[in-house]
Amino acid sequence: MSVINELIRTEENGTISFGNYALDKKSKVEGFEHDGDLYKVKTFHEITKLERNGMFVYESVPGTAVKEFSVKDTAVSFKVEGNQDAQITIQLEDDMEYEVFEDGVAVGGMKTNMSGKLSLSVELSEGKTVEVKVVRK
């Protein structure tokens, strides 16, 4: 996997890919339509952030490239790449328990806070993709 040069795109399987951690200055795309929703992505080497219809969806510090981002009723899944370890925050349901998997291995249960945000750390290095799946218990 590599950075997403167009910053955000729709994949053939119906998911979206976004982010470019190789950029030196902040870049953004607004008004990207996917499945009836409007997305906004801001990305560069320090941060990658995704919003849907003006609401927070995903953020990583430092910036990352995310491929095949999918949100279902009970799970969020994506592949992520970066050039260093990242702190990732995703929007889920408020005050719920989730199981987090990295490359198919359970890394533990987590509970979202009152605003529905869940934060996790992912070990990343250039050229290495990590599959992340967060499933509601």
Strand ranges of the sheet holding 105-111, from the earlier edge strand across to the other edge: 8-10, 16-18, 65-71, 75-81, 129-136, 97-102, 105-111
What is the count of structural domains for the chain?
A: 1
Tell me which residue range forms the domain holding 112. Answer: 8-136
Asked if 8 and 16 touch (Cβ cutoff 8 Å), the reply is yes
Would residue 92 count as lying in a domain? yes
Asked if 17 and 69 touch (Cβ cutoff 8 Å), the reply is yes
pTM for the full model? 0.95
Would residue 82 count as lying in a domain? yes
Q: What is the pLDDT along the chain (137 residues), one digit of tens a residue?
A: 578 899 999 999 999 999 999 999 999 999 999 999 999 999 999 999 999 999 999 999 999 999 999 999 999 999 999 999 999 999 999 999 999 999 999 999 999 989 999 999 999 998 899 999 999 99
Domain with residue 98: its CATH number is 2.60.220
Would residue 87 count as lying in a domain? yes
Would residue 75 count as lying in a domain? yes
